[in-house]
Amino acid sequence: MKKINVVIYGATGSIGKSTLSIISKNLDKINIEGITCNKNILKLLKIAKSYNVKKIGFNEKYIYKLNKFNLNKFEVFSDDSSFHSIVSKKTDVIIFATSGLSSLDLLLKILKSGKIVGIANKECIITLGKKFINLSKKYKTKIIPLDSEHNSIYHLLRQNLGKYKSITITATGGPFLNYTKKKLSYVTPQQATKHPVWKMGSKISIDSATMMNKALEIIEAKYLFNLKNDEINAIIHPQAIIHALVNYENGISTALLNKPDMRIPLSSLFFEFNKYSNVYRGIELTNYSNFEFIPIDKNKFPAVELGYQVMKIGGLAPHIFNYLNEILVNLFIKRKIKFLDIVKLNELNIDKFFGKNSNISDPKLSDIKNINYWIDNNLYLGN
């Protein structure tokens, strides 16, 4: 049987780790063609050796110049602008699991590959907006969403039950679900990166704590599934067993139940839906007599409401919201701003932007780059 050839962008991260965990149990079926990271070269080399990977890429050029790593055994791609060449004729599946917006140019090239692309990175989807699906359709690139909620929706919609009324995604509520607003104002980056359910990279963990992650996921769902703003909503479900519901006109909602384990959505890249490997333990419903579904407290977690405002404005607004969040999360990690400022300053900076600039309904990549430059130079951080 021909092996599935896979390229993993962001192999040293949390999604990369879950992907490798699947591959390690299916070495007879899956071959890793190439892997990349930003700068974690030691981890990348370890993966390359363990999985006999020939092509490696890293984004920080200085690594190549250090000359102390034994790189001549590999085909080396020494910055992000060359990463698209890792994909070859024989590549079957590409996993796009870098974090943040830095790999936007790479994604644009990958969307033209005509391959199967598993996408974990929500930030790039939001910034590309409608272009994301339009480009993938134009170049016959098959998109499989890997974010757990969106992967659930993807499978639910494949049931082809006809027109639906709306889609609901769930949120765990993050580490601060039961904190008071006052207590939230003192939380540290260390506390914010400790997620109660998922073990993820630091940016997405902080996004989960502010519930920015859910706001971003609502926008992600809008673009992935071509939804109107009032067709997508979110609720809190701390047990994280139901990740999404599709709600039909006749009052029926469909959902999938699965444990919060990223290997489940990731498996759909390699195996048919009901052919996942049996390493995943099933759901014992009697262990879940405490299933909860709670509305999101807009006062404590204003991010979701701001996300809707941003969708309503449209044009550049979703990108600006997304880009500002990345900047503000970094400032919070460096302890330059407080936890509650992440969302508050986002809103103030959006207002500032639209006070001084007009919107662009269908922004080009060059517009996005100009806007980033403007934001970098006009960022308001309060007094």
Q: How far is the CB of 150 from Mg ion (least distance, A)?
A: 7
Q: Tell which positions 55-84 bind ligand NDP, by CB under 6 A.
A: 59, 80
Closest distance between ligand NDP and the C-beta of residue 248, in Å? Answer: 26
Residue 107 CB neighbours (<10 A): 24
CA distance 6 to 116: 10
For residue 275, give both structure tokens: 């052919």
Select from 5-13, 131-139, 186-194, 223-231 the region that touches ligand NDP (CB under 6 A). Answer: 5-13
Query: End-to-end distance of the chain based on CA atoms, in angstroms?
Result: 64
Cβ neighbours of residue 19 under 8 Å, at least 6 residues apart?
Answer: 6, 8, 11, 95, 97, 266
Q: Which residue has the tokens 């990345």?
A: 326
In angstroms, give the least distance from the CB of 176 to ligand NDP.
18
Residue 80 site contact among Mg ion, ligand NDP, none (CB < 5 to 8 Å, cut-off depends on kind): ligand NDP
Contact between 363 and ligand NDP by CB under 6 A: the answer reads: no
Q: Which does residue 103 bind out of ligand NDP, Mg ion, none, counting CB within 5 to 8 angstroms by kind?
A: ligand NDP
Considering CB under 6 A, how many residues would be counted as binding ligand NDP? 29
Q: What is the DSSP pairing of strand 164-171 with strand 242-248?
A: antiparallel
CA distance 176 to 193: 11
Q: How far is the CB of 173 from ligand NDP (least distance, A)?
A: 16
Q: How far is the CB of 16 from ligand NDP (least distance, A)?
A: 5
Q: Is 200 in the site for ligand NDP (CB under 6 A)?
A: yes
Q: 38 touches which of Mg ion, ligand NDP, none (CB within 5 to 8 A by kind)?
A: ligand NDP
Is 103 a binding residue for ligand NDP by CB under 6 A? The answer is yes
**Binding partner of 246, given ligand NDP, Mg ion, none, CB within 5-8 angstroms per partner class:** none
At 204 the three-state DSSP class reads helix
Question: Using CA atoms, how far apart are residues 226 and 297, in angstroms rounded to an integer?
Answer: 27
Find the binder of ligand NDP among 6, 13, 74, 329 (CB under 6 A): 13
Token couple for 279 = 């390493």
- Six token digits for residue 226: 């071509």
- Name the minimum Å distance from CB 205 to ligand NDP: 8
Which residues 298-327 are close enough to bind ligand NDP by CB under 6 A?
A: none
Query: What's the helix, strand, coil split of the chain in %, to 5?
Result: 45, 15, 40
Is the CB of 31 or the CB of 36 nearer to ligand NDP? 36
110 touches ligand NDP by CB under 6 A: no
- Please report the sign of the dihedral spanned by the C-alpha atoms of residue 198, residue 204, residue 205, residue 209: negative
For residue 244, give the amino acid letter.
A
Q: Which is nearer to ligand NDP, 33 or 80 (CB)?
A: 80
Indicate the helix (H) or strand (E) that contains 256: strand 253-257
Crossing angle of helices 317-333 and 212-225, in 10° steps, is 150
Q: Any contact of residue 10 with ligand NDP (CB under 6 A)?
A: yes
Nearer to ligand NDP, 119 or 177 (CB): 119
Would you say 175 and 195 are in contact if contact means Cβ atoms under 8 Å apart? yes
Which contiguous run of DSSP H or E holds residue 128?
helix 122-128
Q: How far is the CB of 37 from ligand NDP (least distance, A)?
A: 3
Cβ-closest position to ligand NDP: 13
Told to check if 37 binds ligand NDP by CB under 6 A, we report yes
Structural contact between residues 4 and 29, judged by C-beta atoms closer than 8 angstroms: yes
Binding mask 113-142 for ligand NDP (x = CB under 6 A): -------xxxx-------------------
Binding residues for Mg ion (CB under 5 A): 147-149
Strand partners, 31: 5
Q: Which residue, 80 or 147, has its beta carbon nearer to Mg ion?
A: 147
Smallest gap from residue 216 Cβ to Mg ion (A): 9
Whose CA is closest to 225, among 313, 172, 155? 155
Give me the residues that bind ligand NDP (CB under 6 A), please.
10-16, 36-40, 59, 80, 97-99, 102-103, 120-123, 147, 198, 200-201, 204, 262
